Amino acid sequence: MITFTDVTKTYQDGTTALKNINLQVQEGELLALIGPSGCGKTTTMKMINRLIQPTEGTILIHNKDIRDYNIHELRWNIGYVLQEIALFPHMTVEENISVVPEMKKWKKKELSSRIDELMDMVGLDPEKHRKRKPGELSGGQQQRVGVLRALAADPDIILMDEPFSALDPISREQLQKDIRNLQQEIKKTIVFVTHDMDEALALGDRVCLMKAGEIVQLDTPQNLVLNPANEFVKDFIGSRKTPWQTAVDVIIDYTNNKILTVEEFEKGRVVLEGTFALKNADGTYEGIIKNGERVQSPALSNDMILRDAVQVFESESHSLLPVVKEDRLIGTLSYRDIVLYLKESESNKVEEVSQL
């Protein structure tokens, strides 16, 4: 979908912002770009809609060099969500959302129903909010409109530049959830810049960790956590504020040790002690087996944060819970996994402190 080939950016004063970036963003994936400030993550993203020109190398979208597109039309087809939200303060919510469709000369009627549809999607009542000015909305609502503005003309690609960093923790969490839901519904290709590792791990289908203009590791969240390429990656992942904010999919047990198929269960291959998750032949989640008996239990979503997961443990009184990603059973989470993870993150912290 988006391909960076040997992209380098050198500024006139000689500083190099990016060195030989090679990168592919798959269609429909959410790629999180992360790294310490000055690592080039935002530069990388802004090259996609040509806000920044590479000094060397090429960037292709749909296998066509982005320089061969009309720059304005290219941008109309790339949604852009800014860190500063940057809604136009003199325009109403409706007018803000209409900016790109109007340039693309959408019909009025079509546009109006599109606005209703979009606002419903993120839980903003169109009747109530259409005619409001951005200043009359809360920060969370504003950035929701910011996202809608990027989505309005149904672009193939959406760029998000630390979209939630200006928000309070509660709105941030809510919006992250919204983005996950949206992404599942609309399947856009999203390039998402963040400095928040938890956010990257929770939202990204893949995470691209950068440092000093280079890609250090580009991998799935799980691999990043389980198989960090080097100490830098390990440190960077470890340096999160609290392990309780971590999404469960970096903690869970991906081995099949605690998973049985329905077939296996029905054939009687039952271990009497312990708890196991049960999955169907197509990989969907079925239920759990507790000491040889089938019990119903809710499953955890892979992006649920640890704190919420522990609440489910409390109310369900199982020692192990299944974890699903869109109905598919991807692993299990047990008290043991949690304890080990907490221990590990604690020791990381101690290391950091002793290094200081």
Partner 1 sequence: MIGFMNVFSQRQDILWEKIWEHLQISIIALVIATLISVPLGLWLTRKHRIAEPIIGATAVLQTIPSLAVLAFLIPFFGIGQTPAIIALAAYGLLPILRNTYTGIKEVDPALKEAATGMGMKSFRRLSKVELPIAMPVIMAGIRTSMVLIVGTTTIAALIGAGGLGDLILLGLDRGGDVNLILLGAIPAALLAIILDLILRLFERTSAKSGFRSLVSLLVIAALIAVGPLAFGGKVKNDITIGAKLGAEPAILINMYKLLIEEETDLSVGLQKNLGKTDLVFSALQEGSIDIYPEFTGTAIVSLLDEEATSNDPQEVYQQAKEGMAETFDMAFLEPMEFNNTYAVATTQELAERYDLESIGDLKPVENQITAGFTLEFNDRQDGYQGMKEVYNLDLGEVRTMDPGLRQGAISSGDVDIIDAYATSGYMVDLNLTVLEDPKNLFPPYQGAPLMKQETLDRYPEIEDALNQLGGKITGDKMREMNYEVDFEDRSPEEVAREYLINEGLIEE
Asked if 226 is part of the footprint of partner 1 (rule: CB under 8 A), the reply reads no
Q: Which of 21, 31, 47, 74 lies at the binding interface for partner 1 (CB under 8 A)? A: 74
- For the bound state, the minimum distance from the C-beta of residue 144 to partner 1, rounded and expressed in Å, comes to 16
- For the bound state, the minimum distance from the C-beta of residue 5 to partner 1, rounded and expressed in Å, comes to 23
Nearer to partner 1, 82 or 121 (CB): 82
Asked if 135 is part of the footprint of partner 1 (rule: CB under 8 A), the reply reads no
Using CB under 8 A, which of the segments 25-33, 71-79, 168-176, 329-337 binds partner 1?
Answer: 71-79
Nearer to partner 1, 100 or 237 (CB): 100
Asked if 241 is part of the footprint of partner 1 (rule: CB under 8 A), the reply reads no
Q: Which of 75, 114, 172, 240 lies at the binding interface for partner 1 (CB under 8 A)? A: 75
Q: Which of 3, 8, 28, 51 lies at the binding interface for partner 1 (CB under 8 A)? A: 51
Question: Residues in contact with partner 1, total (CB under 8 A)?
Answer: 24
Asked if 99 is part of the footprint of partner 1 (rule: CB under 8 A), the reply reads yes
Secondary structure (H, E, C), the chain: CEEEEEEEEECCCCCEEEEEEEEEECCCCEEEEECCCCCCHHHHHHHHCCCCCCCEEEEEECCEEHHHCCHHHHHHCEEEECCCCCCCCCCCHHHHHHHHHHHCCCCHHHHHHHHHHHHHHCCCCHHHHCCCCHHHCCHHHHHHHHHHHHHCCCCCEEEEECCCCCCCHHHHHHHHHHHHHHHHHHCCEEEEEECCHHHHHHHCCEEEEEECCEEEEEECHHHHHHCCCCHHHHHHHHCCCCHHHCEHHHCCECCCCCEEEHHHHHCCCCCCCCEEEEECCCCEEEEEEECCEEECCCCEECCCEHHHHHHHHHHHCCCEEEEEECCEEEEEEEHHHHHHHHHHHHHHHHHHHHHC
Asked if 316 is part of the footprint of partner 1 (rule: CB under 8 A), the reply reads no
- Where along the sequence are the contacts to partner 1 (CB under 8 A)? 49, 51, 71-76, 78, 80, 82-86, 88-91, 99-100, 103, 149, 159
